[in-house]
Structure 1
Amino acid sequence: MSDKQPEQSAAEEVPAWQPPRLVQARVASADDSSMQIEEIRAKIYPRSVTGVFAKWRIILVLATQAIFYGLPWLQWNGRQAVLFDLAERKFYIFGIVLWPQDVFYLAIILIISAYGLFLFTALAGRLFCGYACPQTVYTEIFMWIERKVEGDRVARIRLDESPMSLRKFRIKATKHFLWLVVAWWTGSTFIGYFSPIRELGVELIHFELSFWQWFWMIFYSFATWGNAGFLRESVCKYMCPYARFQSVMVDKDTFVVTYDRIRGEPRGRRSKKVVPSEAGLGDCVDCTICVQVCPTGIDIRDGLQYMCIGCGACIDACNQVMDKMNYPTGLIRYTSESGMLDGLDKKQARQRLFKPRIYVYITLLSVFIIGLLVSLSLRSPLRVDIVRDRGVLGREIPGGLIENVYRIQVINMSEQDQKFVLKATSKDIGQVAVLVGEGNEQEIDVPAFSNQWVPMVIRIAAEGAAKGLHPLTLYIENTDRTKGTLSAQHDTTFFVPNE
């Protein structure tokens, strides 16, 4: 019995299409555990490929990185358009400023992201992983640098197998230098989302960054270098939780990268002149190019596996081989299990995608998105908080007056400096005077995107005032209506002492 027979028998046991339960590998017995360990340790040398899906990966890499690297440099009304200022506890997102009190919006955004992930996975599997995931995107960038410096697959294998020499050291050093430049640029940009990036550049040149700025810049840079340069597919195969729970959301109608086993088997090598049907062969020529181009090193012909990130590299590679053999393309393609087994065209297979679960996801996603947009549009750019001075609930002062002392916080979330006037009314205690600040004024200045805590005194006439607590409503509005109308109100109480 030859050494290849066990592998062939294992292949025969693989069903026509592995359903969404996602098989891990084609391993037949527990005695092969050492083989699995070697597979984890083995370095993968993906072969470069061209085609429709390769072009889409390039487009998505350029688009996502243009957003990531360019967004911090955008300006909005004289400030950074997108800035998550943790020190000041403000999140600037173009014309919106979120404060700690706006944690509700963060929760809604997380819910929208979750439902978006559910919907996208139910429709197209791990397509996000193959085209827009940061791990995939930076791996593609680092692999592009590696191919430019070291060459394509065969050249890289030969270089790694060769003994250390001056040439090998120079090539490896050049590659890692370029990797570190990209990683440092990425880490610096990441910090630019949390500190003003224009000031950050000056501080970096003069080595004036704070400890935590240095820490996170170095940490994120080395994380990018390590994940994209060394770990690569291991992150997708062994570390990413999304790869594990996607099987819950994938079913037989989900579009995934699929090998048409009915058409391709039995596989075998042959010349162009051989007619597959006459030779008892399928269309698969067993060239293994689909395995060579796979960034995670799997064989898609073994069925759908959780390690598949849906990048479509194997589709491009297989279509090129089919063109050379003058066979129809699509031996490996994006389709569903039901579409392949039932012989459906793309339109018919897509129609099966939309089932009650998909409509539930779309409905919930639409409700949360509309609710978020409506809430943001109706959100008042002025907020007021009042805290009573518990040490002095109420006291009589000369002039026949009773006063209560408070502290008031005025939050101006608009883009202009504002001057606010405060008034108060109560049905129980008659005329009310409101004085704020150290100078007991009736107006308060609050700069744009800032808040101020100031002392506030409310006074009433002591004559005729009933003892005890009285409800009181405080009104605040801006004085310059050319900057827009800003107003708010806050209910509190006024205490009239017994003596």
Structure 2
Amino acid sequence: MSGNPQSKHDAVVDELYAEAGHWKINTGEEKIHAKRVPGKWRIWKWIASLVWVPFFLGPYLRWDDRQAVLFDIPNRQFHLLGVTILPQDFWMLSLLLLFFAILLAVVTALAGRVWCGFFCFQTVWTDVFTWLEEKLEGPPQKRKKLDQGPLTLTKVRIKATKHLIWIVIAALTGISFVAWFTDAYQLWIDLVNFNLAPTAVITILLFIAGTYVLAGYLREQACFWLCPYARIQGVMVDNTTVLPTYDFHRGEPRGRVKKGAKDADSSTGDCVDCNQCVAVCPTGVDIRAGQQEGCITCALCIDACNSVMEKVGRPKGLIRYESLDMLNGKENRPMHKRPRVWVYSLVLLLAITGIGYGMATLDAIEIKVIHSRQPLYVLQSDGSIQNKYTIKVLNKLTEDLKVSITVPGVDGAVLVGADEPVTARKGAVTPRTVFVRIPRDKLKVESQPLVFYAESTDKTGKRLVSKRESVFIGPKQ
């Protein structure tokens, strides 16, 4: 019977169901009031949340006479300090998105949902909202009592203050988002004067509603049911991934510590079954039941467990960052000796190198040369051959430029229609029709290579040059 494949399959399924039976997934039937315990990982969590400070302050930085970073969608321009990126250069955006997508996959494969636990906007905003809730309403038990208590003036005052602050934070979030797409200072002027554009008003209102509902009410439910990352993380994590892990070898069997007992009971493990790891979990899972969908790798359970271990006189690290293979003694290689770490790092390096190359070689002006097809060439009365071209000058700067067009290097070539410089408008493409004439006796081949040069200087006196290859078509020789 033991060799029957069906029996083995049934045994595995039973084991999985038994494990899943220990999982706790809050489907919204109760509100989680997570306890806040000080510790190393709580400090790191607050430090990591500071990555969102530039989201609020970034739009107010200036560069010369404009906003330092501005996504100017109406004019299809992206200003980054002294560089203006136009749609023609958005291939770099693809590399940037590839870089962050792979980075997310790399971090997840190596250390689980670190993004979710420390950096995700849902996690950070929820943490701020619940911190304010605790400051106004007290610790978890007091908050639960207030929620269940009768409606009094004190309760109305506390709740109204909390929700008002939540709405203010949500409004600042929406305004800060819009400020990246328009001049931030003008945005506040229009806001004070009730003169905001309809698009800005709708966007801000959507952010207010979204932030207020997601961070104030849904909280961990957004991580469970709305976030697609929670669904796909399972294919990125394996037994070598370093995660907050309960050391069941050391912790089991669990046993309470009796009051006044000086020495640990040798018949029980180090876990004293205090449930503090569950009390501090923002999603309400029990890490002792193994890795679960609700675990966002915030490591707050590590702080809670370590504080209890200190109190009962037992070693820290009952819950710690560890891989399952390391926990079971199957893996002892450091992170830098794992092949996939090097593969991921190589892909990341290639992506960031491409972005760096693109930024370094980004020209302030670019030209495109379009050869007229009808006719390919015209025989002039003086015997010279003439070709017609449309020159398109792209100016990526925030100032108009006087751009000179030349065709050097071709014996006898005369450029007609480019006597005056082209006034290239800022952030736009300016066309100019020109003609190139070459004496027939100077034309040795049917298709003669040509190189058009566009030259100008910016307001600092820096020389700007762009070139584009084309051809000069003549009669068959």
Q: Please tell me the TM-score bracket, short chain as reference.
A: 0.7 to 0.9
Matched, 1:355 2:338: yes
Q: Which shifted more, 318-327 or 480-489?
A: 480-489
Matched, 1:430 2:412: yes
Q: Residue 32 of structure 2 contacts residue 283 of structure 2 at CA under 8 Å; is this kept in 1?
A: yes
State how far apart, in whole Å, the 2-side matches of 1:306 and 1:353 are: 27
State how far apart, in whole Å, the 1-side matches of 2:440 and 2:243 are: 81
2:47 pairs, out of 59, 70, 90, with 59
Q: Which amino acid letter does the alignment assign opposite residue 154 of structure 1?
A: Q
State how far apart, in whole Å, the 2-side matches of 1:89 and 1:175 are: 40
Q: Which amino acid letter does the alignment assign opposite residue 413 of structure 2?
A: Q
Matched, 1:375 2:358: yes
Q: Which shifted more, 138-147 or 361-370?
A: 361-370
Q: Which amino acid letter does the alignment assign opposite residue 101 of structure 2?
A: A
Q: Residue 253 of structure 1 contacts residue 352 of structure 1 at CA under 8 Å; is this kept in 2?
A: no
Q: Residue 276 of structure 1 contacts residue 283 of structure 1 at CA under 8 Å; is this kept in 2?
A: no
Q: Which residue of 2 aligns with 1:40?
A: 28
Shift of residue 277, structure 1, vs aligned partner = 5.5
Q: Which residue of 2 aligns with 1:26?
A: 22
State how far apart, in whole Å, the 1-side matches of 2:432 and 2:442 are: 24
Q: Superposed, which structure 2 residues align to 1:314-333 within 5 Å?
A: 314-333=301-320
State how far apart, in whole Å, the 2-side matches of 1:155 and 1:332 are: 28
> In structure 2, do the counterparts of structure 1 residues 166 and 399 end up closer, same or farther at CA, with 3 Å as the change threshold?
farther
State how far apart, in whole Å, the 1-side matches of 2:414 and 2:428 are: 25
Q: Secondary structure at the match of 2:405?
A: strand
Q: Deviations over 1:226-267 (max 9, x none)?
A: 111111101112222222222222222221011111211121
> In structure 2, do the counterparts of structure 1 residues 25 and 129 end up closer, same or farther at CA, with 3 Å as the change threshold?
farther
1:251 pairs, out of 235, 238, 261, with 238
Q: Residue 407 of structure 1 contacts residue 453 of structure 1 at CA under 8 Å; is this kept in 2?
A: no
Q: Which amino acid letter does the alignment assign opposite residue 433 of structure 1?
A: L
Shift of residue 131, structure 1, vs aligned partner = 0.7
1:152 pairs, out of 139, 149, 160, with 139
Q: Which amino acid letter does the alignment assign opposite residue 352 of structure 2?
A: I
> In structure 2, do the counterparts of structure 1 residues 453 and 43 end up closer, same or farther at CA, with 3 Å as the change threshold?
same
Shift of residue 384, structure 1, vs aligned partner = 0.7
Q: Deviations over 1:267-287 (max 9, x none)?
A: 132225436764622221211
> In structure 2, do the counterparts of structure 1 residues 210 and 240 end up closer, same or farther at CA, with 3 Å as the change threshold?
same
> In structure 2, do the counterparts of structure 1 residues 394 and 82 end up closer, same or farther at CA, with 3 Å as the change threshold?
same
Q: Which residue of 1 aligns with 2:59?
A: 72
Matched, 1:49 2:37: yes
2:402 pairs, out of 401, 404, 419, with 419
Q: Which residue of 2 aligns with 1:491?
A: 469
Q: Deviations over 1:66-88 (max 9, x none)?
A: 22111111112222111111111
Q: Which amino acid letter does the alignment assign opposite residue 434 of structure 2?
A: V
TM-score by length of 2: 0.87
State how far apart, in whole Å, the 2-side matches of 1:332 and 1:318 are: 7
> In structure 2, do the counterparts of structure 1 residues 481 and 64 end up closer, same or farther at CA, with 3 Å as the change threshold?
closer
Q: Deviations over 1:133-156 (max 9, x none)?
A: 111111111111111111110111
Shift of residue 360, structure 1, vs aligned partner = 0.7
State how far apart, in whole Å, the 2-side matches of 1:180 and 1:270 are: 45
Output the aligned Cα RMSD: 3.3
Q: Residue 77 of structure 2 contacts residue 427 of structure 2 at CA under 8 Å; is this kept in 1?
A: no
Q: Superposed, which structure 2 residues align to 1:54-453 within 5 Å?
A: 54-61=42-49, 63-274=50-261, 278=265, 280-342=267-329, 351=334, 354-387=337-370, 406-414=389-397, 418-424=401-407, 427=410, 430-436=412-418, 441-446=419-424, 450-453=427-430
> In structure 2, do the counterparts of structure 1 residues 97 and 25 end up closer, same or farther at CA, with 3 Å as the change threshold?
farther
Q: Which residue of 2 aligns with 1:7?
A: none
Q: Which residue of 2 aligns with 1:454?
A: 431
State how far apart, in whole Å, the 1-side matches of 2:211 and 2:393 are: 42
Q: Which amino acid letter does the alignment assign opposite residue 26 of structure 1?
A: H
Q: Secondary structure at the match of 1:171?
A: helix
TM-score by length of 1: 0.83
Q: Which amino acid letter does the alignment assign opposite residue 454 of structure 1?
A: P
> In structure 2, do the counterparts of structure 1 residues 473 and 408 end up closer, same or farther at CA, with 3 Å as the change threshold?
same
> In structure 2, do the counterparts of structure 1 residues 196 and 400 end up closer, same or farther at CA, with 3 Å as the change threshold?
farther
Q: Secondary structure at the match of 1:329?
A: coil
Q: Secondary structure at the match of 1:168?
A: helix
State how far apart, in whole Å, the 2-side matches of 1:14 and 1:79 are: 64
Q: Deviations over 1:397-436 (max 9, x none)?
A: 9999876655432123356653221112585x93222325
Q: Which amino acid letter does the alignment assign opposite residue 54 of structure 1?
A: R
Q: Secondary structure at the match of 1:49?
A: coil
Q: Which amino acid letter does the alignment assign opposite residue 309 of structure 1?
A: I
Q: Residue 174 of structure 2 contacts residue 203 of structure 2 at CA under 8 Å; is this kept in 1?
A: yes
Q: Deviations over 1:266-320 (max 9, x none)?
A: 2132225436764622221211111111000001111111211111111111111
> What is the number of residues matched between the two proteins?
462
What is the aligned-residue identity percentage? 37
State how far apart, in whole Å, the 1-side matches of 2:382 and 2:299 are: 84
State how far apart, in whole Å, the 2-side matches of 1:492 and 1:243 are: 52
